[in-house]
Structure 1
């Protein structure tokens, strides 16, 4: 009676070895790939919503380059006046 390990080695030795080297897939496949695409899509949507809300706030508050620079000028002048 043969031991189980001897049976397996015997069968391996008689098998033809015409197979080439095994090729492993490199990359992300299956549900991981779908989750990655979902998160990238979600991130792009969040970026677009963030930009849209920022532009909307700037328009509602009537911010322009002139008003922002004037606001900064007033605050810097006010802080200098306080320190004098």
Structure 2
């Protein structure tokens, strides 16, 4: 069991220490660049998919194999 004196001493020590606050994550221009890069990558993926489908339609590719 702690005495009243030990309890107040412990509270004084804890309140006198400043808690360290660490920033977790990406902030500022790095965050904007990361978002821009992800957006650019998504646009390129969509363009690639659209062009692939267009080429398949234009070249008349089919899944059925031709037998000789």
TM-score where L is the length of structure 1:
0.57
Shift of 1:29: 0.3
Structure 1 distance, partners of 2:59, 2:39, is 30
Greater RCO, CA 8 A, separation 6+: 1
Tell me the residue number matched to 2:37.
39
Provide the alpha-carbon RMSD of the alignment.
1.9
More helix by share: 1
1:25 match: 23
Moved over 4 A (4+): none
Secondary structure of 1:65's aligned partner: coil
Unpaired runs of at least 5, structure 1:
1-16, 75-84
> Any unmatched runs of 5+ in structure 2?
1-14
